[in-house]
Amino acid sequence: MQCVICNRDAVENNYCELHIKAYESVAEKFQEWKKASGISWKEYLSEIAKNPLTGEWAKEVAEHLIKSGEK
Amino acid sequence: MEKYELIITEKPDAAQRIASALDVKGKAKKMEDNGVPYYVAKRDREIVVVPALGHLYTVAQERGGRNYYPVFSFRWVPRHVAERGAKKIRTWLETISKLANKADTFIDACDYDIEGSIIGYCILKYACDNKEKTSKRMKYSTLTKKELEKSYAELLPHIDFVLIEAGRTRHEIDWLYGVNLSRALTIAARDWSGKYATLSTGRVQGPTLKFIVAREKEIRSFVPTPYWEILAEAEIDGSVLQVEYEKKIIETKSEADAVLNACKAKDGQVEKIDVRKFKQKPPVPFDLGALQSEAYGLFGYTPRRTSNIAQRLYLEALISYPRTSSQKLPRAINYKAILKNLSKAPEYKKLTAKLLAKPKLKPREGKKEDPAHPAIYPTGNLPERVLDSSERKVFDLIARRFMAVFGEPAIRQSMKVYINVNGNRFYLRGRRILKRGWLRFYGPYVRSEEVLLPPIEEGQAIKVRKVISEDKFTKPLSRYNPGSVLKKMEEAGIGTKATRANIIQTLYDRKYVRDERIVVTNLGFEVLDVLEKYCPAVLSIGLTRELEQRMDRIQANSEKRENVLVDAIEILKPVIEKLKEREKTIGEQLSKAVKKARLEERIIGTCPVCGTGKLMILYSRKTRKRFIGCTNYFKGLCRTSFPLPQRGSVRPLGRDCRRCGWPTVQVRIKGKRPWNLCFNPECPLKEERRKRIAMRNMQ
């Protein structure tokens, strides 16, 4: 099984070792965003995808989640 | 023919200085044999001073080629035997041997540290026919005439054997780790792909790459969180000052809005004023690491560059020996004499006069000690030639730091004004220097600004001009730079002051990392991934540090070199076996990473014409000439191409042209300054340049 983003070997949730860390970070930070500005998961993903401070892998995960519509 | 005394130094400059210092007339005669310089000094007897060229001997495998591993048997050989491109060493050693034949006494005058001691030991043992046991030792920390004469008059009775044992062990262990691990990676990749690429790692290189990669992973996985900051502008005595809300970070928008609404169109009142005075002690003298960090922070010099500059300044007897970890300045260096000599430079005249007027000179010192050398200090000699800009900066930094350590503490005052705006508290902060103390000496290198406030009293009404809330986001950890990596290595206790800067450079040379604000490349990730999967032991900072400590114990004569070597091999053996077992898998992973890295090196950026393809450096099949073409050409979608210079090397710059926004490349031709090239034929910069040249020609 390969990572849905970079074709490395997937280790969990269809993500490789590098992108799984980014995925966990994306999932974890949603609660903080929700509390801070009350936005939805979809809005959150598009916000972090365009934020220049978001790390490259976290951005790739956010873009993938937007495309796939995963929750 | 009468026999003479042979002195061996580490570098030619040091040989000339020592010979001149020891010659009765202060003018040693320069001689040459086979292009190798040496110096003859006359004293009560003849002295010949011959330099080395740094290390002339190195560790190499006992027999066989470079294409196999593991290798556990080694010996010390002349560098030209082990390294390509070191042919000069052969004639150098022949000259030293020739001179040694006619000498009856020997003195090792190489730098007094581990590396210098090994250089001297190897030459005495191998090139001078086992004279290491009878040789005497010169110990000095500056190349000034006075210190060299004193060192010659008070020769140490023998070379420092424990220091040499420790140094030899370090070289041998580093060689064992470096050669075996690097060959395992390189051979695995080559055998899988059929193509050669140098891949390396080592006892210190691996752990260093590991903590750089850990930071990179944090940065790449980082998700910022929003927060809000409230700022206000207050008008006091006609001046507008920025004040900050008591909570620096407001976590929710609703809270920020509530504060904003409460302060809207309201004025404030000064509740309280806190004034604090505090002393700021002078800095401690420079050890090499601190000098490298400071020069990086102030001038952007890489640690290796600073180290090279400091070495040049030392060889010209302008500063003391730079490869030191000491933060102590012993009284014996004669503070007063140094300051008096420095006062001959107009820029230091007033400053030194202030220090010389003090009844007693006492430096502030740090905790770190080095048994071989004091902290870095100016010798008091002034440059005999015009220093280049970087040398001048580093020299000035060292001279001013030296003066600053004798200064009085600076006294600063901080002021915090509490302003209440409708129940919400804001702070106005001021800073000023009450007494400059040591700051006067360190002047241009002090990084702190003053913020002066107008007179304010408690109870005073404050006009609030506006209150705003700013949307902010948390920031990722900052990237490492060569200076901060060096500091981290020091803190972790890995590598030595002599090796750290070179290890960082190797990471760049191997293309594991790039840029000044360090970014790990895909190749760097893959190499570390392989090491983490198959030999995590060699990445352990703990293990590396433990080996360092054991090597230090050899130096203190409380550990046997043989035990450390045997244990190091015991750790290495199973690691290499595991790498060998998985050679194919590792080879595949690394080959793919190398291939990708080579491809990435040729990608310049997005094609500005089609917007979807990538511009890449390509080679014409017909003419073999290189050019830039769009990757969409292969799909029949875009025919964009641009010519490139055919000489020198071309690499993507990674940033766009400041005028037209097209991607740019850097061209490097040997002997010329590299230049940045925007290949857009219609770039306005090109037109401007053409006009400028035309104007110049008309004039």
CA distance A17 to chain B (A): 10
Q: What is the pLDDT of residues B543-555, one digit of tens each?
A: 888 888 888 899 8
Given an 8 Å threshold on Cβ–Cβ distance, is A58 in contact with B227?
no
Domain B226-282+410-473, classified CATH 2.40.10.10, yes or no: no
Number of residues assigned to chain B: 699
Mutation for testing the A interface, residue in B215, B223, B229 having most A CBs under 10 Å: B223
pLDDT (average), residues B586-597: 87
**CA-based radius of gyration for chain B:** 31
Query: Which fold is adopted by the domain B167-220+479-594?
Result: Topoisomerase I; domain 2 (1.10.460)
Backbone dihedral region of B671: left (phi > 0), alpha (psi from -120 to 50 degrees) or beta?
left
CA B608, CA B454: separation in Å to the nearest integer? 54
CA B13, CA B317: separation in Å to the nearest integer? 10
Residue B608 amino acid letter: P
Given an 8 Å threshold on Cβ–Cβ distance, is A58 in contact with B253?
no
Residue A70 has pLDDT above 70, yes or no: no
CA distance B425 to chain A (A): 22
Kindly write down the DSSP assignment for every residue of B669-689, as one continuous string.
Answer: -TTS--EEEE--TT-HHHHHH
Q: What rounded mean pLDDT belongs to chain B?
A: 91
Q: Pick the catalytic residue from B69, B177, B321, B418.
A: B321
Residue B473 has pLDDT above 90, yes or no: yes
Given an 8 Å threshold on Cβ–Cβ distance, is A53 in contact with B476?
yes
Residue B64 has pLDDT above 80, yes or no: no
Residue B1 has pLDDT above 70, yes or no: no
Residue with token string 């310089």? B37
* Cβ contact B196:B186 at 8 Å: yes
Across-strand partners of A12?
A15
Query: What is the per-residue pLDDT for B283?
Result: 95
Number of residues assigned to chain A: 71
Residue B408 has pLDDT above 70, yes or no: yes
CA B416, CA B464: separation in Å to the nearest integer? 17
The CATH H-level superfamily of B288-404 is: Topoisomerase I, domain 4 (1.10.290.10)
Q: What is the pLDDT of residues B108-153, one digit of tens each?
A: 999 998 899 999 999 999 999 999 999 999 999 999 999 999 999 9
Q: Does B442 qualify as catalytic in the annotation? A: no
Give the residue from B7, B9, B5, B6 showing the smallest Cα distance to B116. Answer: B9
B681-692 burial string, b = 16+ CB within 10 Å, else e?
eebeebeeeeee
pLDDT (average), residues A58-63: 95
Question: Which residues from chain B sit within 8 angstroms of residue A29, using beta carbons?
Answer: 223, 225
Q: Where in chain B is CATH 1.10.460.10? A: 167-220+479-594
Say what the pTM is. Answer: 0.80
pLDDT (average), residues B560-574: 91
Q: What is the pLDDT of residues B416-471, one digit of tens each?
A: 999 999 999 999 999 999 999 999 999 889 887 788 888 888 988 889 898 999 99
Asked if the C-beta of B532 comes within 8 angstroms of chain A's C-beta atoms, the answer is no
Asked if the C-beta of B217 comes within 8 angstroms of chain A's C-beta atoms, the answer is yes
Helix or strand (DSSP H, E) at A29: helix A17-37
pLDDT (average), residues B205-233: 94
Residue B654 has pLDDT above 80, yes or no: no
CA B162, CA B165: separation in Å to the nearest integer? 5
Residue B106 has pLDDT above 80, yes or no: yes
- Pairing assessment for the beta strands B424-435 and B136-137 based on DSSP bridges: unpaired
Taking the domains of chain A in order of start, what are their residue ranges? 24-68
Higher local confidence (pLDDT), B288 or B541? B288
Asked if the C-beta of B220 comes within 8 angstroms of chain A's C-beta atoms, the answer is yes
Query: What is the per-residue pLDDT for B394?
Result: 97
Phi and psi dihedrals of B636, rounded to 5? Answer: 75, 20
For helices B303-315 and B500-509, angle between their N-to-C axes, nearest 10 degrees: 130
Higher local confidence (pLDDT), B58 or B649? B58
Q: How confident is the model at residue B670 (pLDDT cuts 50, 70, 90)?
A: confident
Residue A9 has pLDDT above 70, yes or no: yes
Q: How confident is the model at residue A71 (pLDDT cuts 50, 70, 90)?
A: low
Q: How confident is the model at residue B48 (pLDDT cuts 50, 70, 90)?
A: very high
- What ipTM score was computed for the predicted complex, to two decimals? 0.97
B372-406 burial string, b = 16+ CB within 10 Å, else e?
bbbbbbbbbbeeeeebeebbebbbbbbbbbbbbbb
Q: What is the pLDDT of residues B152-211, one digit of tens each?
A: 999 999 999 999 999 999 999 999 999 999 999 899 989 888 888 888 888 899 999 999
CA angle B450, B451, B452 (to 5 degrees): 110
pLDDT (average), residues B364-390: 92
Q: Where in chain B is CATH 1.10.290.10? A: 288-404
Which residues from A are below 8 Å from B when comparing CB atoms? 17-18, 21-22, 24-26, 28-29, 32-33, 35-38, 48, 51, 53-58
Kindly state the tokens that stand for A66: 């937007």
From the options 2.60.120.480, 3.50.50.60, 3.40.50.140, 1.10.3720.10, give the CATH code of B4-159: 3.40.50.140
| B108 to B95, B131, B428, B559, B580: CA distances (angstroms) | 17, 10, 63, 25, 44
CA distance B568 to chain A (A): 31
